[in-house]
Chains A and B, each alone.
Chain A
Amino acid sequence: MRLLKIVPDNTNIGFVSLRGWAFGLTLLLSIAALGVTFARGLNLGVDFVGGIMIEEKFTSAPDADKVRVLIERLGVGAASLQAIDDGKSMSIRLPRPESSDPAATNIVVNKVQAALSQAFPGATLSKQDAVSGKVSGELLWKGGLAVALAILGIGLFAIFRFEWQFGVSTVVAIVHDLLMTLGFFAITRFEVDLTIVAAVLTIIGYSINDKIVIDDRIRENMRRYRKMEMPGIIDLSVNETLPRTVMTSLTILLALIAMLIFGGHVLRGFTAAMILGIIVGTYSSIYVSSSLLITLGLRADPKAEGDAPAAKRGDRMSYKDVP
């Protein structure tokens, strides 16, 4: 049987010589992502800004205008409606009632519920979230903190295990991935809720995983080919690990696409963010982080010369050694 090889043997792409272009493009895209995020803002969910979110399931696709008029008449604040892709469900977002009465939220939800089930027989409540301003503020702060801690922790690990250049290039690459994700959410208007923080942390984790594999190979090749110039070592390392990079990204994408298509609407934003993150993370591993190492002036470390070259290990192994 002939096996599939996605990346042909002995692929040798001159990644390093393209890095000028790549940096330019990356910078441009990052600025664009930042710009679009500032210009359009993110569609923050009730988790982060407070308020009430009701998801209602109807027996058949409801007329959005009819729902809007119905809710406006209740005097519970400006509603924003969004049809959910199964066609029968709709999410209704309302501001949190100003009253401090703990039952105020319930009164709003019950009013909406009563009005809907009267106008649309058979309509049922699928989901309801009510978050106070105080809690949502904390969640936003905690989410940001979690992302910052993840970047910091991983950067420190990379510095500790490798040279400082690896730490810096890794952090730059993650920030790039984050900016792309932000831009994606600003453009698509997917709601940013708590699960998105989890998605972002996963993206960071994955993206790093990818970079460490390449960094590890660069370090190995630096020891093996001490005479080789850094650009040559980086090109070699990226090309050597390319089959793995592509293969792993593809398997994860396969799994995530299955989730995106068949996994239901609740996690759609989460899965979409992750798919984008995998693609962006793979790109940034190849271009941003490894090419940046040259700019940062990484050189073969004299300390490493004490280690036995990896190529010599196990050279004399043969079947005689097999028990």
Chain B
Amino acid sequence: MLDFPRSKIIAIVGVLVALMLLAVPSFFPERITNSWPAHPRVSLGLDLAGGSRLLLEADVNALIAQRLETMHDQIAGGMDKASPKIAIGDISVADGQLSFMVRDPGQIDAAREVLNNLTQGVGLTGQRDWDISVINSTNFVVKPTQAGIDQAVKVAMSAAQSVIAKRIPGFGTKEPTIVAEGASRIAVEVPGLQNPQALKEALGKTAKLEFKMVADSVVQPGQALPLGTQLLPYAEGGKGATLLVKRRAILTGGDLASASAGKKQEDNRDIVNFSFNSEGGKTFAKITQDNVGKRFAVVLDGVIISAPTINTPILGGSGYIEGSFTAESANTLAVELNSGALPIDLKVVEERTIGPGLGAESIRAGITASIIAVVAVMLFMFVTYGRFGLYANLAVIINVVIIIGVMALLGSALTLPGIAGFVLTIGTAVDANVLINERIREERRRGRNVVQAVELGYKEASRTIFEANVTHAISGVIMFIMGGNGPIRGFAVVLLLGICTSVFTAVVFTRMLVALWIRRNRPSDINI
């Protein structure tokens, strides 16, 4: 064990120094390190930096219902356009499936052909996104498959993530983290944001903008609606007011090029200015030309926010939306419109906000506690093991620095439980050294000479250290996996890194220090 050739010493010291260098940028202010070629630095978790975390959950059932509705429209349209036209009846959605009847049994095959074109394969298994079956030889049942639903949720969620990513910067926050959690959740973390309310409302809103023509007819309560129309709540018309509009949207939020909050010149009311993209602008121009004197409705998330009358054709491809806006809500809507509609409804199911005051206080307290812990443990080690305690102390310091460095490299955030992890690591890092030193003491008591005692001490203790730390690491790994992205994971990271580094420094590094010392001094007795 005392055999440490120069090459091995260089390798050990080299590895430790390299790992320690990783921590250096974390100790300097950002403006200095920015000019360095590489500057990984430890970032602070929300609980230390202050900020908000929102967990958004998608309404999968609403998406399923929406898909059925879309399918309904597509089937009706598809059968209508087929040549020869396929007459269908009794088309309805119930119990999560869609059914309809083909009036002429001779057109069953043609109808199936239309349906097949509306469905797609999912993944590599050859499964399709909708399941089509025929009952009683004339009735079709179209049912979404689980694979199809999963696929739709996946697509919607990844689109939702990018919509959110576009919405957040509109609130002036920096470096948001947006990650999927499981199949139907998105976690959003925004450091530094003090009042998450506006953001929360913006993220929770679908912002599905539609332009629809107001229907010419008026229906009395209880009367059946004319084909292709729907009643929507009308915000401007007072409580409970509704307006009958055409079902089909002439334009949607997807046709917009941009939107911005502004003031109306005449009365200084808050409005949202928008401009269509070239395609949308042409459509809008045509529609306004053809419908002068009629009204159209601006529908946001199923509510009519305004229903202006077309006085003159609007040819410039831009316009504004008025409604009962405040400056803030106009800005929020503009941000939402710019980011596009969320393809799926999201609901906030968990929200955590930490003020910067508490975060700063936690950092201060954590650092104080860590320093006191380090000093106390080091003193204790020194009075117990003398020189061997000093070696262990050196190992503890190296451990702490390396953990910081590796965390910076991995981009793992330091959280408050993470600081506790450091304090705990300071305690456990000496454990490996304690095991070794106690073993050396024992072997000396058994009458072995210095070299034998040190040799056996390291050899026997190394096995114990390995086994004891594997079990310790098992609980750390479980914590890491189950801890989500929150503060607990920060703790698990520190704990696991601490286990690795403390075993390495104890078994390899302190052994080298002891070996070099013994080789140089050849003591006949050691004070341990």
Contacts and interface: CB of A to CB of B under 8 A. Distances in A.
Interface of A: 1, 3-6, 9-10, 55, 57, 100, 102-103, 105-106, 110, 124-132, 134-135, 142-143, 145-146, 149-150, 153-154, 157-158, 161, 194-195, 197-198, 201-202, 204-206, 208-210, 212-213, 216-217, 220, 240-241, 243-244, 247-248, 250-256, 258-259, 261-264, 266-267, 270-271, 274, 310, 313-315, 317-319, 321-323
Nearest to B374: A255
A47 to B, nearest CB: 9
Contacts of B491: 195, 198
Interface in B366-419: 366, 368-370, 372-373, 376-377, 380-381, 383-386, 416-417, 419
The 10 A-B pairs with the shortest beta carbon distances in the complex, nearest first, are A264-B365, A252-B427, A205-B475, A255-B427, A126-B358, A255-B373, A258-B373, A263-B369, A146-B482, A102-B204
Q: Which of B385, B470, B474 has the most CB of A within 10 A?
A: B474
Nearest to A210: B468
27 contacts: A57-B355, A105-B348, A105-B351, A124-B357, A126-B358, A128-B353, A129-B351, A149-B482, A153-B475, A157-B471, A158-B471, A195-B491, A198-B492, A205-B472, A212-B468, A217-B464, A241-B438, A251-B381, A252-B427, A255-B427, A261-B369, A262-B369, A263-B420, A314-B452, A318-B449, A322-B2, A323-B2
Contacts of B442: 240
A1 B469 CA distance: 33
A106 B469 CA distance: 45
B169 to A, nearest CB: 21
B380 A131 contact: no
A153 B478 contact: yes
Interface stretch (B229-237, B257-265, B294-302, B454-462): B454-462
Contacts of A267: 416-417, 420
A205 B468 CA distance: 9
B479 A201 contact: yes
Nearest to A264: B365
A202 B358 CA distance: 25
A130 B472 contact: no
Contact of A213 (B348, B468, B527): B468
Nearest to A317: B452
Interface of B: 2-3, 47, 55, 57, 196-197, 200-201, 204, 347-355, 357-358, 361-362, 364-366, 368-370, 372-373, 376-377, 380-381, 383-386, 416-417, 419-420, 423-424, 426-428, 430-431, 434-435, 438, 441-442, 445, 449, 451-452, 455-456, 459-460, 463-464, 467-476, 478-479, 482-483, 486-488, 491-492, 495, 518-519, 522, 527-528
A317 B427 CA distance: 33
A157 B352 contact: no
A310 B354 contact: no
A129 to B, nearest CB: 5
A258 B375 CA distance: 10
Given A126-B354, A149-B482, 14 more contacts: A57-B358, A102-B347, A102-B348, A103-B200, A127-B352, A135-B55, A146-B482, A244-B435, A255-B373, A255-B376, A264-B364, A270-B417, A271-B420, A323-B519
A267 B357 CA distance: 16
A4 B527 CA distance: 11
B451 to A, nearest CB: 6
A212 B464 contact: yes
A127 B479 contact: no
A143 B428 CA distance: 24
A132 B350 contact: yes
Nearest to B185: A135
A103 to B, nearest CB: 6
Contacts of B350: 130-132, 135
Contacts of A158: 471
A89 B473 CA distance: 37
B469 A127 contact: no
Contact of A3 (B2, B57, B385, B419): B385
Nearest to A204: B475
Given A130-B350, A194-B488, A267-B416, A154 B471 contact: yes
